């Protein structure tokens, strides 16, 4: 490793800024900081989902179906005091929503509610960040067709999107990067075959490849992950091949070879580390794409199955009663857009920061 | 020109062949009996047997060594399922839908025009929004307008197309009643689907136009044009924009494919009777002959469009020569 740094310093590579300073510069860009903040927020939501969500994502209540956001919630208490106060609300089959304004219960922080388990039973508690102190349920973002709390479902669905995106990106990197690196480094027949194969795969534009794979593998969350992952392999392979091609004839590579390193050693110790910057950028953008694809498959009914609180699936269910309860479809879409925007912002910022021409 | 065209066509053939192989494999790699999948779950034993014979399902997939060793005839090597598939395909025989019992080709013929119409409409929307937005942002870089376009483009690429479609229906159809909620027919039916499908592409085209224009505007010949006192409008239109077109055309061509794929989602949202909604319905109904046909059609359309984009390059940039 020391050798490669010396070799590259001798040739043409400008000294890189120290990582910490580089990160600080990155975070000073408002858009980049926004992106990191959004991703951080969603990671926090994933980690603390049952604590943050006021209710269980699957608990149904047929007496409170299709409640609009914030129904029964008011700013003033029974004696005019300020705060969030909740009155019992029920939906009657014929009379619509009835509100019992005479009873009001306060919303408090750190309330004991339904008990929950998390991380495969490792964590167990009934403490929630906020909830009503009283025998009533409140729904800040309304309820869906089975009376489930939309906010709780959104919070519990966050991990699905991020997990699918993460696994898909990992599949793409683990397969795509070595294939692209070998293809670019060795060239010749292997390269030709790989490139033709990639041409074929890329002939299925956008989400179509994932749809074809799901049609073959069958529907369900696991297959969606695999499908979206496979769909991102050619993108990584192309990208890394390009970088490796431009690097493999540089002097520090020659130096490594001249010093007797074997081919694969040169490739993985000297060439590939220098080709990874675009991979990092692509991974952020690819995360965005993967989340969109997964949500799309969920929306089409090819992904997660009910009662899974997957955002695309929630949107699809909400579509059926768009005119009467638009909030059921609106909020999951907003969540998808926000998290995708976060990854796009970070990806763009990383690209600009790593591209020396964009100074 | 023609030699170039044929060379490009020739280069596209392996991809087309590969697409055919993948479509051939969909049914065979999926869990379950291919005969059952292609004849439908309600098929009688006679129909199943007929399907097996017609598609040669008792034979190997690609290479029939057994027949070769038995008969000693090299041609027997290709007495396979894949050969049967290709021969049927060449005759336009993709089998029959297990749902409607009508030939797949007829089904595709019924649904394809709607998808083309939608994709074309979305492309027009994307170009009408994307190019002017990108141009304005590039001409006035780092102004409010530029930030507005950049942020709008970011939101455009981040928005799930199906969600945007639903919001459009909610607002313009349900609340305002300006456009029909679903279906196809008049121009009014096309407006919302085209806008929601085109929005993402508009964002990408805007970003590409902006960066290409910024690059061109910093060139010496643009400075020369300005120095000799040409009006800003002339500099932008005649000197800068034409030279910025190449990457924009490339990305537009690629977007057309994305639009065809995105149509799957948009068509489902708006119940638009196109190939995309046909594909989804067929997957959910396990109507595999139609799945095969729809996938084949979309992928080959994409390849052909990319071929056409290559042709257009020459028309807008005389520096690219076809030899």
CA distance B212 to B204: 12
Decide if B217 contacts B240 (C-beta within 8 A). Answer: yes
Q: Do B295 and A312 touch (CB under 8 A)?
A: no
Residues on chain B touching A212 (C-beta within 8 angstroms): 22, 26, 295
Residues on chain A touching B18 (C-beta within 8 angstroms): 196-197, 199-200, 203
The Cα of A139 is separated from the nearest Cα of chain B by a number of Å equal to: 22
C-alpha distances out from residue A338 to A40, A105, B196, Å: 12, 32, 18
Position A139 in a domain: yes
pLDDT above 50: residue B205: yes
A82-86 vs A73-76, strand pairing mode: antiparallel
Q: Is A197 exposed, middle or buried (0-12, 13-18, 19+ CB in 10 A)?
A: middle
The Cα of A204 is separated from the nearest Cα of chain B by a number of Å equal to: 5
**By C-alpha distance, which of A268, A244, A241, A240 is closest to A256?**
A268
The Cα of A331 is separated from the nearest Cα of chain B by a number of Å equal to: 10
Asked which of A120-134, A271-285, A344-358, B20-34 is least confident by mean pLDDT, the reply is A344-358
CATH 1.10.3720.10 residue spans of chain B? 104-322
In sequence order, the β-bridge partners of residue A107 are A132
Residues A234 and A88 in one domain: no
Task: Indicate which of A196, A216, A320, A339 best probes the interface with B, i.e. most B CBs within 10 Å of its own CB.
Answer: A216
C-alpha distances out from residue B291 to A6, B24, B82, Å: 56, 11, 17
Residues A124 and A169 in one domain: no
Decide if B287 contacts B232 (C-beta within 8 A). Answer: no
Nearest residue, CB atoms, B158 vs list A205, A299, A344: A344
Structure tokens at B130: 């994307």
Residues A275 and A132 in one domain: no
B119-139 pLDDT, tens per residue? 999 999 999 999 999 988 988
Residues A29 and A96 in one domain: no
pLDDT above 80: residue A15: no
In chain B, the residue whose alpha carbon lies closest to the alpha carbon of A213 is B26
Task: Indicate which of B162, B302, B305 best probes the interface with A, i.e. most A CBs within 10 Å of its own CB.
Answer: B162
In chain B, the residue whose alpha carbon lies closest to the alpha carbon of A338 is B158
Would you state the pLDDT for residue B322? 52
Would you state the pLDDT for residue A126? 83
Residues A220 and A312 in one domain: yes
Position A30 in a domain: yes
Place of tokens 């309330």: A111
C-alpha distances out from residue A196 to A279, A329, B15, Å: 22, 41, 7
Domain ends where: A148, A181, A203?
A148
A135-166 pLDDT, tens per residue? 888 888 888 888 888 898 999 999 999 999 99
In chain A, the residue whose alpha carbon lies closest to the alpha carbon of B282 is A215
pLDDT above 60: residue A5: no
Domain hosting residue A74, numbered range: 59-148
Position A54 in a domain: no
Residues A245 and A338 in one domain: yes
Q: Do B166 and A301 touch (CB under 8 A)?
A: no
Position A358 in a domain: no
CA distance B141 to B147: 8
C-alpha distances out from residue A322 to A145, A304, B166, Å: 11, 21, 8
> In which region does residue B298 sit, left (phi positive, over 0), alpha (psi from -120 to 50) or beta (all else)?
alpha
Decide if A291 contacts A163 (C-beta within 8 A). Answer: no
pLDDT above 80: residue A189: yes
Which CATH number, 1.20.120.350, 1.10.510.10, 3.90.1150.10, 1.10.3720.10, labels domain B104-322?
Answer: 1.10.3720.10
CA distance A221 to A307: 12
CA distance A26 to A18: 12
Task: Indicate which of A38, A215, A287, A341 best probes the interface with B, i.e. most B CBs within 10 Å of its own CB.
Answer: A215
**By C-alpha distance, which of A222, A343, A353 is closest to A294?**
A222
**Complex confidence, ipTM:** 0.85
Average pLDDT along chain A? 84
Q: Show the beta-strand stretches assigned E in chain A.
A: 73-76, 82-86, 89-92, 96-99, 105-118, 123-132
Residues A90 and A26 in one domain: no
Using pLDDT thresholds of 50, 70 and 90, give the confidence band for residue A2: very low
Decide if A158 contacts A88 (C-beta within 8 A). Answer: no
Residues A194 and A268 in one domain: yes
Residues A172 and A288 in one domain: yes
Between helix B288-316 and helix B242-269 the angle, nearest 10°, is: 160
Place of tokens 């708006």: B270
Q: Do B299 and A295 touch (CB under 8 A)?
A: no
Position A228 in a domain: yes
Q: Estimate to the nearest angstrom the gap between the alpha carbon of A11 and the chain centroid.
A: 40
Task: Indicate which of A203, A230, A323 best probes the interface with B, i.e. most B CBs within 10 Å of its own CB.
Answer: A203
C-alpha distances out from residue A192 to A199, A264, B8, Å: 11, 19, 17
Residues A245 and A120 in one domain: no
Residue A307: cis peptide before it, omega within 30 degrees of 0: yes
A358/B contact by beta carbon, under 8 A: no
**By C-alpha distance, which of A317, A137, A125 is closest to B166?**
A317
Domain ends where: A148, A165, A198?
A148
CA distance A59 to A107: 20
pLDDT above 60: residue A35: yes
B26-68 pLDDT, tens per residue? 888 877 777 777 777 777 888 888 888 777 777 777 777 777 7
pLDDT above 70: residue B175: yes
In chain A, the residue whose alpha carbon lies closest to the alpha carbon of B167 is A330
In chain B, the residue whose alpha carbon lies closest to the alpha carbon of A301 is B284
Residues A140 and A171 in one domain: no
In sequence order, the β-bridge partners of residue B117 are none
pLDDT above 90: residue A55: no
Place of tokens 């990191």: A36
A255, A4, A233, A288: CA torsion to nearest 10:
-140
Domain ends where: A114, A132, A148?
A148
Structure tokens at A237: 């392979």
How many percent of chain A have pLDDT more than 90? Answer: 27
Residues 98 through 117 of chain A touching chain B, CB cutoff 8 Å: none
**Total domains, chain A:** 2
Residues A204 and A140 in one domain: no
CA distance B305 to A287: 28
Q: Estimate to the nearest angstrom the gap between the alpha carbon of B207 and the chain centroid.
A: 21
Residues on chain A touching B16 (C-beta within 8 angstroms): 203
Asked which of A139-153, A345-359, B24-38, B99-113 is least confident by mean pLDDT, the reply is A345-359
Position A359 in a domain: no
Residues on chain A touching B164 (C-beta within 8 angstroms): 333
Q: Do A337 and B170 touch (CB under 8 A)?
A: no
Position A52 in a domain: no
CA distance A148 to A55: 9
Using pLDDT thresholds of 50, 70 and 90, give the confidence band for residue A358: very low
């Amino acid at each position: 490793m020391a050798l490669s740094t010396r070799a590259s310093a001798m040739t043409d590579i400008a000294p890189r800024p120290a990582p910490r300073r580089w990160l600080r510069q990155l975070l000073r860009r408002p858009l980049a900081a926004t992106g990191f903040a959004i991703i951080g927020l969603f990671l926090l939501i994933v980690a603390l989902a049952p604590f943050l969500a006021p209710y269980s994502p699957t608990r149904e209540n047929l007496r409170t179906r299709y409640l609009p956001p914030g129904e029964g919630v008011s700013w003033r208490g029974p004696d005019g005091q300020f705060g969030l106060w909740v009155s019992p609300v029920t939906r009657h089959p014929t009379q619509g929503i009835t509100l019992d304004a005479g009873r009001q219960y306060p919303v408090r922080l750190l309330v004991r509610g339904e008990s929950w388990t998390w991380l495969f039973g490792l964590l167990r508690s009934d403490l929630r960040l906020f909830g009503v102190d009283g025998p009533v349920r409140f729904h800040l973002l309304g309820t869906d067709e089975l009376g489930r709390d939309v906010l709780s479902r959104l919070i519990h669905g966050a991990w699905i999107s991020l997990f699918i995106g993460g696994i898909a990106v990992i599949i793409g990197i683990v397969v795509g990067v070595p294939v692209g690196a070998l293809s670019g480094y060795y060239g010749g027949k292997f390269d030709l075959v790989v490139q033709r194969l990639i041409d074929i795969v890329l002939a299925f534009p956008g989400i179509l490849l994932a749809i074809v794979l799901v049609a073959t593998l069958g529907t369900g969350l696991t297959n969606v992950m695999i499908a979206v992952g496979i769909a991102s392999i050619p993108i990584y392979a192309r990208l890394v091949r390009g970088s490796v091609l431009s690097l493999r004839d540089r002097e520090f590579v020659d130096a490594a070879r001249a010093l007797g390193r074997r081919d694969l050693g040169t490739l993985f110790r000297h060439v590939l580390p220098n080709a990874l910057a675009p991979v990092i950028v692509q991974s952020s953008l690819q995360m965005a794409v993967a989340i969109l694809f997964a949500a799309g498959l969920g929306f089409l009914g090819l992904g997660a199955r009910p009662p899974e609180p997957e955002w695309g699936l929630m949107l699809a269910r909400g579509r059926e009663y768009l005119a009467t309860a638009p909030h059921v479809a609106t909020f999951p879409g907003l969540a998808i857009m926000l998290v995708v925007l976060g990854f796009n912002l970070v990806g763009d910022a990383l690209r600009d920061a790593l591209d020396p021409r964009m100074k | 020109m023609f030699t170039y065209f044929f060379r490009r066509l020739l280069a596209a053939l392996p991809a087309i062949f590969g697409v055919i192989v993948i479509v051939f494999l969909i049914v065979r790699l999926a869990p379950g009996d291919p005969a059952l999948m292609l004849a439908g779950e309600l098929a009688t034993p006679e129909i199943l047997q007929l399907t097996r014979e017609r598609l040669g399902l008792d034979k190997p997939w690609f290479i029939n060594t057994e027949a070769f060793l038995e008969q000693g005839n090299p041609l027997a090597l290709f007495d396979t399922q894949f050969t049967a598939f290709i021969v049927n395909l060449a005759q336009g025989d993709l089998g029959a839908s297990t749902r409607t019992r009508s030939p797949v080709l007829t089904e595709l013929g019924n649904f394809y025009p709607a998808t083309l119409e939608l994709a074309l409409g979305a492309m027009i929307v994307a170009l009408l929004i994307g190019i002017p937005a990108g141009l304005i942002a590039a001409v006035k870089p780092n102004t409010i307008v530029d930030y507005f376009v950049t942020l709008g483009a970011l939101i455009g690429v981040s928005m799930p197309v199906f969600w945007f479609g639903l919001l459009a229906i909610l607002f313009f159809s349900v609340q305002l009643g300006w456009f029909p909620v679903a279906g196809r027919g008049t121009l009014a039916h096309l407006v919302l689907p085209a806008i929601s499908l085109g929005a993402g592409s508009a964002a990408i085209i805007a970003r590409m136009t902006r960066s290409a224009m910024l690059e061109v505007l910093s060139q010496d010949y643009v400075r020369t044009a300005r120095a000799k006192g040409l009006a800003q409008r002339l500099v932008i239109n005649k000197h800068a924009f034409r030279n910025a077109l190449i990457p924009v055309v490339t990305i537009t061509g690629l977007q057309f494919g994305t639009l065809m794929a995105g149509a799957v989602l948009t068509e489902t949202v708006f119940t638009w009777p196109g190939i995309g909604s046909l594909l989804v319905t067929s997957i959910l109904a396990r109507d595999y002959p139609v799945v095969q046909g729809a996938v084949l059609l979309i992928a080959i359309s994409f390849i052909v469009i990319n071929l056409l984009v290559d042709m257009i390059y020459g028309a807008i940039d005389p520096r690219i020569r076809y030899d």
